[in-house]
């Protein structure tokens, strides 16, 4: 994720000017929002470091010019706790106290929705990442919020097609998703994509913050599911789920269509991560991408 957030930081700079020029004379502060604690910590730390690298590179090159002035970038980063309330609180602080006009983040539908509830009315540009469709429904006439990554709406169907072609033993899919914007909108859309490909789906929603998923897992296993799907869960939750699924004795496939963080998931799950599949961002024009092209 470092490179993607680094590009986003560069994009924020390009919205107001171009890199280069003489030594920076003025400081332009911009905001960063991400989960620096909680289940999405790996995403937040990656976002923060990516933005820091971008700032260092731009400033080292002399800053950037806009409207005849040369600016030096300064990042102000806040933790959203990977919650809607946290995203809103971070955005309110950046907009009302720090007076920034550009924000990068957060990652995740709940904090993204909380953030844009503040940034859109204030006409502050936000580069967010969350899969919930309502994130891009601006309340103001002009767009101020922009999504950084593609969502499961774009990459879900081709990846599910791959599962159908490469795992013919899978007939019933178990989906675990949090009972918030992710589970209520994102997971529902992905479940429908599975059904369109002929799969039977069992969807269970859990309250975000729980650490014991075994009762849900056993209930789904009792329904003879062939594969577990993590949808857009954070690396912390996904790692725990994967570990507990294997501890419960499930031998089938486990896949995550949405929500990267494979290194962190493997670190938490340990040996239980053997055989785990997670999607990767791909280029449709490559040979591999051609095979996954949407129907």
Segments making up each domain of the chain, as ranges: 2-147, 152-278
Q: What whole-number distance in Å separates Cα of residue 11 and Cα of residue 104?
A: 10
**Residue 168: CB atoms within 10 Å:** 8
Gyration radius of the chain over CA positions: 20
User: Is pLDDT above 80 for 91?
Assistant: yes
Mean pLDDT rounded to a whole number for the chain: 84
Q: What is the CATH number of domain 2-147?
A: 3.40.50.2300
User: Is pLDDT above 60 for 14?
Assistant: no
- Burial of residue 114 (CB within 10 Å: 0-12, 13-18, 19+) is buried
Q: Which of 177-191, 220-234, 256-270 has the highest mean pLDDT?
A: 220-234
Q: What is the pLDDT of residue 281?
A: 61
CATH superfamily, domain 152-278, is Response regulator (3.40.50.2300)
The mean pLDDT value for 21-25 works out to 54
3-state SS class at 6: helix
Q: What whole-number distance in Å separates Cα of residue 204 and Cα of residue 177?
A: 7
Read off the pTM: 0.73
Closest CA to 145 of 133, 130, 128: 128
Q: What whole-number distance in Å separates Cα of residue 46 and Cα of residue 39?
A: 13
User: Is pLDDT above 80 for 157?
Assistant: yes
Closest CA to 83 of 32, 137, 33, 145: 33
């Amino acid at each position: 994720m470092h490179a993607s957030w680094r590009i986003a930081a560069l994009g924020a700079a390009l919205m107001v000017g171009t890199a280069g020029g003489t030594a920076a004379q003025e400081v332009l502060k911009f905001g960063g929002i991400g989960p620096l604690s909680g289940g999405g910590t790996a995403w937040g730390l990656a976002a923060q470091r990516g933005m820091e690298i971008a700032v260092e590179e731009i400033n080292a090159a002399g800053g950037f010019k806009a409207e005849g002035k040369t600016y030096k970038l300064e990042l102000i980063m806040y933790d959203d706790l990977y919650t809607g309330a946290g995203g809103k609180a971070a955005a309110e602080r950046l907009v009302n106290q720090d007076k920034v006009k550009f924000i990068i983040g957060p990652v995740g539908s709940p904090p993204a929705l909380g953030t844009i509830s503040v940034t859109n009315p204030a006409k502050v540009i936000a580069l967010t990442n969350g899969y919930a469709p309502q994130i891009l429904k601006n309340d103001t006439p002009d767009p101020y919020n922009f999504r950084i990554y593609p969502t499961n709406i774009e990459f879900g169907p081709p990846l599910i097609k791959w599962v159908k072609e490469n795992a013919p033993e899978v007939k019933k899919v178990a989906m675990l998703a949090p009972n918030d914007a992710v589970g209520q909108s994102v997971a529902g859309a992905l479940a429908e994509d599975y059904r369109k490909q002929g799969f039977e789906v069992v969807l269970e929603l859990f309250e975000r913050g729980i650490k014991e998923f075994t009762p849900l897992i056993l209930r789904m296993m009792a329904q003879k599911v062939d594969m577990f799907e993590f949808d857009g869960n954070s690396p912390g939750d996904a790692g725990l789920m994967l570990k507990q699924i294997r501890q419960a004795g499930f031998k089938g496939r486990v896949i995550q269509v949405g929500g990267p963080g494979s290194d962190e998931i493997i670190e938490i799950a340990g040996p239980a991560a053997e055989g785990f599949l997670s999607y990767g961002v791909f280029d449709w024009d490559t040979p591999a991408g051609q095979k996954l092209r949407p129907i």
